[in-house]
Structure 1
Amino acid sequence: MDSVSNKPWLEHYPVEVPATFDYPKQNLAQFLVQSTALYPDQIALDFLGNKISYKALLDSVYRFTNALLKLGIRKGDRVAVMLPNCPQAVIAYYGTLLMGGIVVMTNPLYMPRELEHQLNDASVKMIVTLDILFDRVQKSTEKIPLDYILVTSIKDYLPFPKNLLYPLKNKKTGDPISYGNSVLPFLPFLKQSTAEPNDTPVDADEDLALIQYTGGTTGFAKGVMLTHMNLVANTHQSKLWFYRAQIGKERYFAALPFFHVFGMTVLLNQSVLMAGTLILIPRFDIGQVLKTMNRLKPTVFPGAPTMYIAVINHPDIQKFDLSSVKICISGAASLPVEVQERFERMTGGTLIEGYGLTEASPVTHANNLWEKRKVGSIGIPFPDTEARIVHPDTGDEMPQGDIGELIIRGPQVMKGYWQQPEETKKALRDGWLYTGDLARMDDEGFFYILDRRKDLIIAGGYNIYPREVEEVLFEHPDVEEAVVAGVVDPYRGETVKAYIILKEGATANEEDLKRWCKEKLAVYKVPRVYEFRQSFPKTLVGKVLRRKLIDEDADKMPK
């Protein structure tokens, strides 16, 4: 099966990257134990100036593990972590994993209704959250209370004197928190515990490390079950791909949130496996981001396209030195070619596009960093990862070059959806994960994503892929961001609509953009409707919520 005719991409593997690898069957948190043994004094976390060594981090993680056991939380119990990128998130994550618990990473922007669904669906025993989110957590647990709510504050880990200034900057809302019984403060919780080493054995192939909820664009979010092996394998696959990365030397710029599985694998787990330093960014504020990069000189900066767009379009970009950045992998949404080229020119680093999804821990494909890559492509499958293009209805393999649904098989593919056997059956068939993404593979084994099946626009009988139209709009010198979607049209069924954010001071109008598109696209693909906006609704990772834009339009339609 492994012949190159079946896997033409193997021809394009750098000699340093093996096609297959023996992944260690271990608790995911062993990465931290192993790196601490080798590099105890290396800085693991740099949080707004507070530097925490591997030795100090592991000490806190053991304390967290032992404190959970003291409360009666056991192997297989679920612990939710609702925090931005801060030391407490790392401690709670690895501390839960070490005692065999299952982490439920939760978005701090969630409202009570979304949070309630996750906490109840996963039967969570404890949540770790911020004081400023406490009211929201309380509301979401009114009907079904949790055993424990563990509360921390950003200032708990801020260096002096920032910790004194913090309350002046963040006006806290709500009443003071009354601690006791089920509501516990984070720092005393650790302090009163012991740092005795503790490692609960796990069956890496079977035991869950994570229940990660996927964006609920189609009703309520589903819990993706990822085993220790899934995440160990994907972290190692990413490490094999970054074969020039040096153990104990890399500085990872953690602007992607850890509660998103992309940030968790390519930043948190990756940096800890590599004994790197994680530069923690609790919130993506472009001014702050550029100052931090200028000062702390990160070498690795994974991100979402909107992050790179914000960097290249910053008015004072030339005042900052970003030349330390060597490796960037873009995920979570398609990367416009124009953005990739400008970012590389500006930093001298390499920015590649990759592809993944929560159900695959998440990375399955990436372009080569230092060898052959193809613009506009998501690259080639990772080691031990198979990919095929099949007919969306029949499941038959498509002739090479034809468009169909991308399916994937590999050690990083999930065990299934939590308590949803029917949904699991739809997504996993004979070990293959059906992604719902439309793609094609060229003769050299490079893959190209066209769009989500559900985002395809069918206008006047023609299939139109939003990404193709967006690429053209991005090339226009006045366009900062563009999103294309199908909106209801009484005559054509659907029509192509472009949502545009212009660069500061730009003057392009509907006519200009229409002319621009007509020169580069078949007439049926040219957007008929244009809406100019100041901003787009986005997830915290920076993915534009295309569905939300379409729903807003539908609400405006005469009923």
Structure 2
Amino acid sequence: MATMIDTAAPLRPWIASYPEGIRWDTHIDTRPVHEQVLAACAKNPSATALDFLGHTTSFGDLAKKITAFAGALQRQFGVKKGSRVAIMLPNTPFYPIAYYGVLRAGGIVVNCNPLYTVHELAHITSNAGADVMITLDLAQIYEKAEKLVQAGHIKSVVLCHFPDALPLLKKVLYSVAKRKDLTRLGASPIRDRVTKFEDMIARHDTPDAVVIDAKKDIAVQQYTGGTTGIPKGALLTHANISANMSQINAWGDGLFLPRSTVVAVLPFFHIFAMTVCMNVPLSNGTRVVMLPRFELKALLNLLARTKANVLPAVPTLLNAIARAENVTPEQLASLEVCISGGAALPDEVRAAFAKKSKALLAEGYGLTEASPVVCCAALRKPSKPMSIGLPLPGTDIRFVGVDSGKLVGIGEDGELQVKGPQVMPGYFDNDEATAEAFTDGWLRTGDVGHMDEDGYVFLVDRIKDLIICSGFNVYPRIIEEALMTHDAVEETNVIGVPDAYRGEAPVAYVKLRDGETVTEDALKHFLADRLNKIEMPKQIIFKDALPKTLIGKLSKKELRTEYAQTRAKK
């Protein structure tokens, strides 16, 4: 099934800046992603689909396991159309099998971050109504599933045996040397609620057919907003997810076809990696090489072994590569394109990375509610510096005044709002939040920025991070960019704090590069020519490490709490 995008009415200055051969009004493929992946498996079953630390899975084998797992979910657990199934797995071959198996069975995937606390996981699973959770037998992860069952938040656990994901030699060595890291299922108080993943696959059950209405039926219930409040379940239809895949394929202009190899170091349970690192390449029959977490040495070894050429990343990962003295251009030589997402890409990180790699570094932008990609720099040629690029094919954007609520002109700052086939219908069981998320059918992103005359989009900051000093708007990102130009600064994060005179004032937290020293006064003197007096930080606080979210984005939440607690003690 394909949908033709309506090209009527809105002005779209970005179309004139599109790379040659890419059309905004391209056909959007909305076939369910599991159908596309299974079709890719049938087309070239002997090709390698997954590579995990050297253990490979062919597309043919992947299809067999997806189908068998889907059948077992239906037969053993009664999963049917609309059933919520929680997946709490790091990047391993188990994840795509579980993900596509749930969808093939008619279920809805509820992604759970294995690093979440039991309290956070309890909210997600109970809110979603997920009876079954698929997880790993690593003790530190399994213990959380165990507590969720004991508390009544989930009923059953499907357990994947981690050593089965490893190459034979590593499997043997791990089973001997790391046995203590694995849970002892026989001693588990919920052992009668646990079914082994490999036993489900071995049943070779054939799943019943499930008729999917791609535009209406939900594929993934992705929780978001946890850093600012109680996480909400964004409902992403099969068409939302497939549309974004189709848009990315069109924008990539062949980048994600089988000549490529995509690195999946970002976690699949995060929407960026789920779409860009897994769904897009696998639906094209393209190899995905996985790491369970980011470790610089492991990533370099992976590049040396696989010659992977596409690396989706977050800025902190790119910064780690760029700043590492022992990383050479030769070690990164296979990389052709790096796609930065998840957070703003500082210009200093871009420049430092360019000294290590000749790869085209393209910044993209998206949000969970848009499946997730909205804008991206061109993936075949350089784009304007500091821009998040152009809206993807089939995507409309506009900027609306934060205070006025009226459309703003070219170059004027306003809230970015989005329309497109990748945009969710709403949040699960939360009409109030859904209503707040949309204005006249446009998704409110909460991000402030503007568009230039060529249609390139530039973001300034988040509305919620805006600092109002003496009635003036101060954007933390402006201060952060200025601080990052100092040679001694490795990372920085700026928050707004209460101020008796100005109402609010910026405070900067800074992590220095190893071996570097600089005083607060010296940094403020450095900033004097780069910031106005209102933007100048009230205080610069040095820390050995800055808090990050679970995918590596710098987080302001913990810093606000820390500052408030410190202030309360005075």
Contact 2:467 2:475 in 1 (8 A): yes
* Equivalent residue number for residue 168 of structure 2: 160
* Equivalent residue number for residue 172 of structure 1: 181
Among residues 124, 140, 152, which one is paired with 1:144 in the alignment?
152
Determine what percentage of the aligned residue pairs are the same residue: 39
- Residue by residue, what CA displacement relative to the aligned partner does 1:357-414 show, whole Å, maximum 9, x if unpaired? 0000000001112346111111110001000001224431112211111100000000
Quote the Cα distance in structure 2 between the aligned partners of 1:371 and 1:48.
32
* Equivalent residue number for residue 128 of structure 1: 134
After TM superposition, the structure 1 = structure 2 runs for residues 303-382 of structure 1, keeping only pairs within 5 Å, are: 303-318=313-328, 321-371=331-381, 373-382=383-392
* Equivalent residue number for residue 186 of structure 1: 197
Quote the Cα distance in structure 2 between the aligned partners of 1:49 and 1:338.
34
* Equivalent residue number for residue 452 of structure 1: 462
The runs of at least 4 aligned residues of structure 1 exceeding 6 Å deviation read none
Query: Does 1:289 pair with 2:306?
Result: no
Query: Does 1:548 pair with 2:558?
Result: yes
- Residue by residue, what CA displacement relative to the aligned partner does 1:491-528 show, whole Å, maximum 9, x if unpaired? 22222111111111112221221121112111221222
Query: Does 1:424 pair with 2:434?
Result: yes
- Cα 1:206/1:4, change in 2 over 3 Å: closer
Shift of 1:415: 1.2
Shift of 1:158: 0.7
Quote the Cα distance in structure 2 between the aligned partners of 1:482 and 1:503.
11
Among residues 227, 232, 240, which one is paired with 1:217 in the alignment?
227
Among residues 90, 96, 109, which one is paired with 1:103 in the alignment?
109
Quote the Cα distance in structure 2 between the aligned partners of 1:48 and 1:521.
47
| SS of residue in 1 equivalent to 2:60 | helix
One-letter identity of the residue aligned with 2:161: S
After TM superposition, the structure 1 = structure 2 runs for residues 222-237 of structure 1, keeping only pairs within 5 Å, are: 222-237=232-247
Query: Does 1:49 pair with 2:54?
Result: yes
Contact 2:69 2:98 in 1 (8 A): yes
Query: Does 1:119 pair with 2:125?
Result: yes
Deviates more, 1:396-405 or 1:180-189: 180-189
Deviates more, 1:235-244 or 1:164-173: 164-173
Shift of 1:169: 3.6
Deviates more, 1:437-446 or 1:219-228: 437-446
Quote the Cα distance in structure 2 between the aligned partners of 1:140 and 1:197.
28
- Cα 1:215/1:425, change in 2 over 3 Å: closer
* Equivalent residue number for residue 31 of structure 1: 36
Quote the Cα distance in structure 1 between the aligned partners of 2:10 and 2:243.
25
Shift of 1:4: 9.8
Contact 1:353 1:378 in 2 (8 A): yes
Shift of 1:3: 7.6
* Equivalent residue number for residue 11 of structure 1: 16
Shift of 1:329: 1.2
Shift of 1:315: 2.2
Contact 2:401 2:408 in 1 (8 A): yes
| SS of residue in 1 equivalent to 2:131 | strand
- Residue by residue, what CA displacement relative to the aligned partner does 1:168-215 show, whole Å, maximum 9, x if unpaired? 246327654547542111111211233x47652200000000000003
Segments of structure 1 that go 5 or more residues without pairing to the other structure are none
After TM superposition, the structure 1 = structure 2 runs for residues 497-516 of structure 1, keeping only pairs within 5 Å, are: 497-516=507-526
After TM superposition, the structure 1 = structure 2 runs for residues 347-496 of structure 1, keeping only pairs within 5 Å, are: 347-371=357-381, 373-496=383-506
- Cα 1:27/1:201, change in 2 over 3 Å: farther
Contact 1:4 1:11 in 2 (8 A): no
Shift of 1:429: 3.0
Contact 1:391 1:405 in 2 (8 A): yes
Deviates more, 1:1-10 or 1:178-187: 1-10
The number of equivalent residue pairs is 558
Contact 1:28 1:209 in 2 (8 A): no
| SS of residue in 2 equivalent to 1:253 | strand
Among residues 41, 45, 56, which one is paired with 1:40 in the alignment?
45
One-letter identity of the residue aligned with 1:273: S
Deviates more, 1:237-246 or 1:413-422: 237-246
Quote the Cα distance in structure 2 between the aligned partners of 1:284 and 1:206.
36
One-letter identity of the residue aligned with 2:392: F
| SS of residue in 2 equivalent to 1:124 | coil
Query: Does 1:263 pair with 2:273?
Result: yes
Quote the Cα distance in structure 2 between the aligned partners of 1:98 and 1:450.
41
Contact 1:253 1:278 in 2 (8 A): yes
Quote the Cα distance in structure 2 between the aligned partners of 1:273 and 1:190.
22
Contact 1:98 1:198 in 2 (8 A): no
* Equivalent residue number for residue 90 of structure 1: 96
Quote the Cα distance in structure 2 between the aligned partners of 1:145 and 1:490.
45
Contact 1:113 1:140 in 2 (8 A): no
One-letter identity of the residue aligned with 1:136: K
Contact 1:26 1:202 in 2 (8 A): no
Question: Normalized against structure 1, the TM-score is what?
Answer: 0.96
Contact 2:122 2:153 in 1 (8 A): no
Shift of 1:229: 0.4
* Equivalent residue number for residue 3 of structure 2: none
Contact 1:4 1:10 in 2 (8 A): no
Contact 1:294 1:320 in 2 (8 A): no
One-letter identity of the residue aligned with 2:30: K
Contact 2:313 2:338 in 1 (8 A): yes
Contact 1:256 1:303 in 2 (8 A): yes
| SS of residue in 2 equivalent to 1:558 | helix
* Equivalent residue number for residue 21 of structure 1: 26
- Cα 1:422/1:215, change in 2 over 3 Å: closer
Contact 2:29 2:246 in 1 (8 A): no
Contact 1:86 1:281 in 2 (8 A): yes
- Residue by residue, what CA displacement relative to the aligned partner does 1:34-62 show, whole Å, maximum 9, x if unpaired? 11122211110000110110001111101
- Cα 1:145/1:541, change in 2 over 3 Å: closer
Contact 1:389 1:405 in 2 (8 A): yes
- Cα 1:321/1:283, change in 2 over 3 Å: same
Shift of 1:2: 4.8
Deviates more, 1:164-173 or 1:482-491: 164-173
Query: Does 1:242 pair with 2:252?
Result: yes
Contact 1:116 1:141 in 2 (8 A): no
Quote the Cα distance in structure 2 between the aligned partners of 1:180 and 1:153.
14
Contact 1:406 1:435 in 2 (8 A): yes
Contact 1:39 1:248 in 2 (8 A): no
Deviates more, 1:157-166 or 1:102-111: 157-166
One-letter identity of the residue aligned with 1:331: G
| SS of residue in 1 equivalent to 2:305 | helix
Quote the Cα distance in structure 1 between the aligned partners of 2:520 and 2:372.
38
Contact 2:400 2:414 in 1 (8 A): yes
Quote the Cα distance in structure 2 between the aligned partners of 1:170 and 1:366.
44
Contact 1:27 1:201 in 2 (8 A): no
One-letter identity of the residue aligned with 2:517: T
